[in-house]
Amino acid sequence: MMNLNTRPRVDGLDVARGIAVLGMFAAHVGAAATPFTWADPASWSALVHGRSSILFAFCAGVSLVLATAGRVDGPLARVTDRRRVAGRAIAVFALGAVLMVLQTPINVILPTYAVLFVATVPFLRARLRTLVLLAGTSLVVGPVVAVVGEALTGPGSGFVGDVLVRGYPAVSWWGIVLAGVVVGRAGLERGRALALLLVAGTGCALVGYGGGFLLCLGLGLEPPAPSTSVNAADLGGDSAGGSSVAVPPDGSVAPIGPTGPRASTWTGSD
């Protein structure tokens, strides 16, 4: 995805990218059509839903750092960074726009990636503490902004609204890319930094999954019923915003939101 000529390849990053790509393939063609639960081995393949695209966005943040590293900071280096990333963003955006025009039956995340690449460029050489604060704030505030923005704009908000606050909302996903930038800047070649990242990642996972589990218990919530995700356009609905439709076992149809950092229900997309 990125040209890493300025540094040796990072094997772990390549493995993570490969897992993300395979996971997105599995989410579209081979994953279980039931929510993931530890007690049901038949649902374990559903683990790829949502997590694959998040991992890919995270790796994109790391790759942005590696692709622009190795040069002394200065006006010329910053201009070069912007040109390199802008060229990739244009290519990714164009490919995503084509897929959206073709009315593919899945949510297209490529335009969101392109917007995130451009939005991240000014912060690639920021202080690490600034990046940590910005990533943390974006991860907390972004999903709220996306929910409010979607409620205010509605499904007819146009292409810009679809990319920013609907489908895969850029305001939510920016924090994930910035988290990848933080990891890339932390120093992947240093053992101590890798150990700290492992501890931090494990802690975040425990807080996220554990907190979500406790919140569900406290609110009396349960996982949604097994469903199959289909394209809203096939049912006479509007798929411009990237939304999908669930078909429960009883045959009734109910709209649900997309997966990702701000979604509250499982939909069966990557």
For 177-244, give the DSSP string. HHHHHHHHHH-TT-HHHHHHHHHHHHHHHHHHHHHHHHHHHHHT--PPPP-EEEEGGGGT---TT--E
Structure token pair of residue 217:
């218990």
Give pLDDT, residue 220.
79
Q: Is-contact 178 155, C-beta < 8 A?
A: no
Nearest to 109 by CA among 1, 218, 242, 221: 242
Instruction: Give the range with max mean pLDDT: 30-39, 63-72, 96-105, 143-152.
Output: 143-152
Q: Confidence class of residue 189 from pLDDT cuts 50, 70 and 90?
A: confident
For all residues of the chain together, what is the average pLDDT? 74
d(CA 117, CA 225): 36
Mean pLDDT along residues 149-166: 77
pTM of the predicted structure, to 2 decimals: 0.71
Q: Confidence class of residue 32 from pLDDT cuts 50, 70 and 90?
A: low
Report long-range pairs for 9-16 (Cβ below 8 Å, ≥24 apart): 10/62, 10/66, 10/188, 12/188, 13/59, 13/62, 13/63, 13/66, 13/188, 16/55, 16/58, 16/59
d(CA 172, CA 146): 6
| 233/206: higher pLDDT | 206
Return the H-helix or E-strand segment holding 149.
Answer: helix 128-153
Q: Is-contact 246 225, C-beta < 8 A?
A: no
For the chain, the farthest-separated pair of C-alpha atoms sits apart, in whole angstroms, at 62
Q: Is-contact 228 246, C-beta < 8 A?
A: yes
- Tens of pLDDT along 231-255? 333 333 333 333 333 333 333 333 3
| 150/38: higher pLDDT | 150
d(CA 147, CA 256): 13
- Tens of pLDDT along 74-105? 677 777 777 888 888 899 889 888 887 887 67
Structure token pair of residue 230:
């289909």
Q: Confidence class of residue 72 from pLDDT cuts 50, 70 and 90?
A: low
Mean pLDDT along residues 263-269: 36
d(CA 19, CA 262): 23
Give pLDDT, residue 199.
92
What's the order of all strands across the beta sheet hosting 254-256? 228-231, 244-247, 254-256
Reply yes or no on whether the pLDDT at 46 is more than 60. Answer: yes
